Structure 1
Amino acid sequence: MAELRRENQKTTSELKETQKRLRQLTQTIRELEEENSILRAQALKLKEDTANRDLSFSRELQQMKEQLQEKSCHVSLSSYTHATVPTPTLSPAAKPPTPPDPGNSPIPQPSPTSPTLTPRDSPSDTHSLPAAQPLNTEPNPDRPAKPEAQVVLLMDSNGKYLDTKRLFPGLITRAKRCQNRGQAMELLRQDTLGNPQHIVVHTGTNDLHTLHRETAEAMTKMAKRASREFPDSRVVISTLLPRTDTPPHVIHEINMEISRSCAALPNIHLAHHTNIGTWDLHDGLHLNKVGVRAFAKTLKDVTLDRNPNSLAHTAAPPRNYRPPRYQQERQSNTASHLPAAPRPPAACYTLPSCPTQPQKTPPPSPMDDLRLCDEQSHPSPTH
């Protein structure tokens, strides 16, 4: 019994020690798990930081590459612009050799059928001129600067037929192409156009299919930008021209909205093309010769602030004009639903009377004299 008790006590003590070790191991495992989670979080954060650094580094590298390309293009363009090639000159001592006389020359002349060397292919030309000097990439200070434009035209495709020399004679005029209002907004800056006296802008017709009724608001924003960027210039905004794919009343309403919105701007002047109709278009969109002439006259009158001689002229279609498709359909539809209009009175169709000439009284004939004598000799009875 005593031995069993001793073994039992020994086993109990060993079990207690084992439990104690298990508790220690469990505590150690928990601590290790906590440290492992902390290390995992740190590793994840480090990975994210590394990815962000790589991304920012790649962006900076791309920006540096773009800047380097822009600088290289600018340097090459400036060197190409300012490069001057000196004209080779011969010294007074080095005179060109005199050509030999064909009759006295012992060298036989080439026949007409034999191939001859052109001056470009002749090898003797390389020895007659001195070696070319290197290109001068430095800007020439003696070279006069390009004069600043006095009139700037921002035009769409309808302005490519304008002759700027005849449009504004005596003024330095430069024309720039802009297809829509967005391109005109980018060009309306002093660092691009300088400080001209007159600025003429004609665009917006190509924005009708994208902006529709908002074209007037977009044109007003463009006019405000021009007034703000060029306060000392006379800015002329050309209103929309007619198109065969857009009803005339829509374009008229847009032009009236532009007029109302730009009325308060100080240096903005509008050019209305009331003397241009759809009959002045050769393809339904672009002006023909007559339309270009009227278009140029209106722009010139408004830009130079002069009174046109044909203010009373109203747009009237020519005799052989055919209305566009939408007008024909509209006329046919309205004619089929509306009753016939009453015919005006016939007096409306009478021609003006021609001046009458005084009629001469013919002399009396012999028969009239006999009849008069007969009546006097035989008077008629009175009742």
Structure 2
Amino acid sequence: MRDKLAHMESELVQLQETSLQTNSLRESYKAIHQQLSTMKTQYEDTQTQLKELQHDRDTCRKELAILTELLREMQQERTDNKKEISSLAEKLREREVTIDSLNEQLQLPTNPNLTEPQIPTSPLATSPDLQQPPEVQTNLSLPYEHPAEQLFAPIIQHTSDIIFLMDSNGKFLDEKRLFPNHSVTKIRCATTNRALDLLSEEHLGSPSHIIIHTGTNDLRTQQERVATSLRAVINKASNTFPNTKIVMSTLLPRKDFHPKTILGINARGILI
């Protein structure tokens, strides 16, 4: 009997331990179930966020495509504007060259040996006794062509210490600030050919300094040959004015010419 009771007590203890383990397993199951529910909720939230992100991505792609098209249109418009600005700048430069040429022509000398032609009077208003001899009348009856020199003013010889021969870029130069204690004359000189015409004592006198900045307007017609023209200007200036300090400015960059072209011309102009 005692053995049975002892055995039953042992089984009761085991049953209690099993009950405790079962309760522990139930608690673990509840915790796992709770974690599973939480993870499921998080997964659903993640799926929702993923869908929202995918929607945002599609929207951004559409906006990017629109912005890309707008950028392409703006680049095309900028290219067109550059071409138009370049064309307008070239027209303006040609206009300045024309104006400079006209201004230069106004400085050409008159020929003192040429006189204004006499306008023949009408035969009906002239007395027979005062009529010219036949050969003179024949000469006067021919149309008279005015020489080009008669349309221009005489040469003006400058007596300044410092002479500037400059193209349209010279309008930005303030010679009074550069040389406040010297007499300075600034002469418009659109091209290298005009510079060669002006480089004489008859025009410039005997200045102490001659500063030349020209050749930019020759780029369109002469291109790389401008270097030779610049060197010709330097040589004539040095030979004509051996006691004068000659300063030759290099060409300035232009948007319609590659910088290497300008640099090459400046280098060749010095080395030729």
TM-score category of the 2 structures, normalised to the smaller one: 0.3 to 0.5
Identify the structure with the greater helix proportion: 2
- Tell me the TM-score normalised to structure 1 length: 0.32
- Tell me the TM-score normalised to structure 2 length: 0.44
Q: Which has the higher contact order (CA 8 A, sep 6+)?
A: 2
